[in-house]
């Protein structure tokens, strides 16, 4: 922006016009992400479907969900390899169609004599569901220039949260009235997004990226372990997701202790609404304000917000203080979500882009999976104050790590 531009233009750019001028395929992937996340009814209510409708115990449901997480990670890694060798559009379309078929069969069997097949069908669909995220991230990088990549990933993140903000209401409505319709609704919306993807997104073959890479470039494993920057980033990203996942594990427990069972549940739900609304309104604004900074600068700024927000959680006793703390760390969430993928795809070799995105998702999943176990063990002998102080300290260490990476790259 030059100095002669007027103030109204700045305010306009702080809104959704920030995303003007991107490749048309980015807008299509944005629409696909909204539809997919809005229609993710099954995953939103999976625990209730397993326990209330299919009769699993809490322990059995927990084991089953663990298996779905493992299957999701296997799907992410497999898709990363395949999508680096074949046209990513075809791989994504195939994966989405497999999820459609899985959920459609669930709709047929859920209220029949074969209802016991439903968990198996959900498990079989999990690898394909997991595969969609790294492939989509790779395609966003493929269709965006280096200068537009930050805005492109910001738009995709916004699409995710629009879908997540609207989906639970529709899921709860369908769950209360018809399970077959809930599964069929998920399948139908996925089919719509797949058709949009097939028609609107042009084909980019993997050989374009292979030819763009040096012929002397070694295999993926060798490239990964020799790239210290990306290895450190993966470690940091896993630790970040470990701290982030405490929000959904520790906070409900803390709210129950502070506010009581009924009020605690209601207050926690409202807190998550504040998180979602903050994301929707402030993602374009923060993207506009920070787009001239490097991704690592934005990520260590994000950690500053987390240090403050989690530090406040350690000493909060009033609901308004919890709300303010949530607003503060959500600003950090926005900066991490809109910069981490940009950084990864900037430093990952184009021919291995899908695999690096897959490994990043697995690293994030590993950190998230550890969070409830470690958090629960800490709460056995320690207080909420200690746990949140520890999370705040870890975010401080991560901020210093991102700062170190930035200084290293500037040398």
How far apart are alpha carbons 251 and 217 in whole angstroms? 46
pLDDT tens digits along 241-267: 999 988 877 888 888 888 887 777 777
- 42, 69, 163, 176 from 180: Cα distances, Å: 11, 24, 21, 11
What is the rounded distance in angstroms from the CA atom of residue 65 to the CA atom of residue 68? 5
If asked whether residues 326 and 387 sit together in one domain, one would say yes
Give the count of domains, the chain.
2
For 174, the domain range is 22-206
Last residue of one domain, picked from the residues 181, 206, 231: 206
Instruction: Name the residue with tokens 């763009």.
Output: 212
**pLDDT > 50? residue 77:** yes
Higher pLDDT, 193 or 144: 193
Asked if 234 and 361 count as a contact pair (C-beta separation under 8 A), the reply is: no
State how far the Cα of 141 lies from the Cα of 345, in Å rounded to an integer: 6
Closest CA to 36 of 193, 170, 165: 193
Are the C-beta atoms of residues 91 and 194 closer than 8 Å to each other? no
Task: Return the CATH number at 196.
Answer: 1.20.1250.20
Answer with the residue of higher pLDDT: 257 or 301: 301
Separation of alpha carbons 145 and 362, rounded Å = 26
Is 3 inside any structural domain?
Answer: no
In angstroms, the CA 351 to CA 163 distance is 31
395 in the same domain as 262? yes
Whether 118 and 229 map to the same domain: the answer is no
Average pLDDT, the chain: 82
In whole angstroms, give the CA distance from residue 293 to residue 295. 7
Whether pLDDT at 210 is above 60: no
pTM over 0.85? The answer is: no
Q: Is the pLDDT of residue 4 over 50?
A: no
Rounded Cα gap, residues 251 and 259, in angstroms: 11
Which domain-ending residue is among 172, 206, 240? 206
* Lowest pLDDT segment from 57-66, 242-251, 276-285, 328-337: 57-66
Q: Is the domain of 176 the same as that of 239?
A: no
Average pLDDT of the segment spanning 217-240: 82
**Per-residue pLDDT at 202:** 85
The pLDDT confidence band at residue 175, using thresholds 50, 70 and 90, is confident
* Residue 131 belongs to a domain: yes
Which stretch of DSSP H or E encloses residue 119?
helix 118-142
**pLDDT for res 12:** 40
Query: Does residue 254 fall inside a structural domain?
Result: yes
- Residue 212 is assigned to a structural domain of this protein: no
Between residues 194 and 148, which one has the greater pLDDT? 194
Whether residues 231 and 100 fall in one domain:
no
Query: Which whole number is the average pLDDT over 31-36?
Result: 89
Describe the crossing of helices 353-381 and 58-83 by its angle, rounded to 10 degrees: 160
The answer to whether residue 214 sits within a structural domain is: no
Residue-level pLDDT at 336: 92
pLDDT at 221 over 50: yes
Identify the CA nearest to 255 among candidates 247, 244, 263.
263
* 299 token code pair: 């990520």
The confidence score (pLDDT) of residue 13 equals: 42
Residue 172 has pLDDT above 50, yes or no: yes
| 123-132, 211-220, 382-391: least confident range | 211-220
Indicate whether 272 and 303 sit together in one domain.
Answer: yes
Asked if residue 6 is part of any domain, the answer here is no
Please write down the HEC assignment for all residues of 199-260.
HHCCCCCHHHHHHHCCCCCCCHHHHHHHCHHHHHHHHHHHHHHHHHCHHHHHHHHHHHHHHC
- Is the domain of 251 the same as that of 190? no
pLDDT of residue 216: 44
pLDDT 10s digits, 349-405? 877 888 888 888 888 888 888 888 888 888 887 888 999 999 999 999 999 999 988
Last residue of a domain, one of 175, 206, 237: 206
Residues 201 and 226 in one domain: no
Q: Is residue 337 part of a domain?
A: yes
% of residues, the chain, pLDDT over 70: 92
Same domain, 123 and 239: no
Spatial CA neighbour of 242 closest among 359, 66, 391: 391
Q: For 146, how many CA atoms within 13 A lie in the half-sphere containing its CB?
A: 6
State whether 55 and 100 are in the same domain: yes
Integer angstrom CA distances of residue 161 from 12, 158, 301: 21, 5, 22
Both 357 and 260 in a single domain?
Answer: yes
**Is the CB of residue 61 less than 8 Å from the CB of residue 176?**
no
Neighbours of 318 (CB within 10 A): 9
- What distance, in Å, lies between the first and last C-alpha atoms of the chain? 28
Q: Please indicate, yes or no, whether residues 59 and 200 belong to a single structural domain of this protein.
A: yes
* Domain-embedded: residue 12: no
Q: Give me Rg for the CA atoms of the chain.
A: 21
Determine the distance from the C-alpha atom of residue 75 to the mean position of all C-alpha atoms in its chain, rounded to a whole number. 16
Tokens, residue 94: 């195939």
């Amino acid at each position: 922006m030059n100095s002669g531009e007027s103030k109204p233009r700045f305010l306009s750019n702080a809104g959704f016009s920030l995303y003007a001028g991107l490749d048309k395929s980015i807008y299509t992937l944005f629409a696909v992400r909204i539809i997919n996340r809005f229609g993710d009814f099954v995953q939103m209510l999976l625990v209730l479907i397993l326990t209330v409708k299919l009769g699993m115990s809490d322990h059995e449901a927990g084991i089953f969900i663990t298996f779905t997480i493992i299957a999701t990670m296997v799907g992410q890694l497999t898709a990363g390899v395949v999508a680096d060798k074949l046209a990513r559009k075809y791989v994504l379309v195939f994966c989405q169609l497999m999820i459609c078929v899985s959920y459609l069969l669930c709709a047929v069997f859920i209220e029949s004599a074969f209802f016991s097949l439903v968990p198996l069908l959900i498990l079989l669909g999990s690898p394909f569901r997991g595969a969609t995220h790294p492939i989509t991230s790779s395609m966003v990088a493929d269709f965006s220039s280096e200068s537009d990549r930050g805005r492109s990933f910001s738009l995709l993140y916004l699409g995710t949260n629009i879908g997540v903000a609207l989906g639970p209401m529709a899921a709860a409505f369908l769950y209360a009235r018809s399970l077959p319709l809930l599964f069929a609704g998920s399948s139908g919306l996925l089919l719509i997004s797949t058709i949009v993807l097939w028609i609107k997104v042009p084909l980019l073959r993997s050989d374009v990226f292979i030819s763009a890479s040096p012929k002397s470039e070694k295999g993926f494993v060798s490239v990964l372990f020799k790239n210290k920057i990306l290895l450190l980033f993966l470690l940091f990203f896993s630790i970040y997701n470990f701290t982030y996942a405490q929000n959904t594990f520790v906070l409900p427990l803390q709210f129950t202790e502070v506010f009581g069972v009924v009020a605690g549940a209601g207050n926690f739900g409202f807190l998550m609404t504040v998180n979602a609304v903050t994301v929707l309104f402030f993602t374009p604004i923060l993207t506009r304000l920070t787009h001239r900074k490097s991704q690592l600068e934005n990520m260590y700024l994000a950690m500053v917000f987390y240090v403050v927000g989690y530090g406040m959680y350690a000493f909060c006793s009033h609901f308004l203080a919890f709300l303010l703390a949530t607003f503060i760390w959500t600003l950090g969430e926005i900066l991490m979500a809109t910069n981490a993928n940009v950084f990864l795809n900037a430093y990952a070799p184009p021919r291995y882009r899908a695999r690096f995105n897959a490994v990043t998702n697995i690293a994030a999943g590993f950190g998230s999976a550890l969070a409830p176990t470690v958090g629960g063990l800490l709460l056995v002998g320690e207080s909420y104050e200690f746990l949140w102080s520890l999370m705040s300290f870890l975010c401080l260490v991560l901020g210093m790590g991102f700062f170190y990476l930035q200084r290293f790259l500037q040398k």
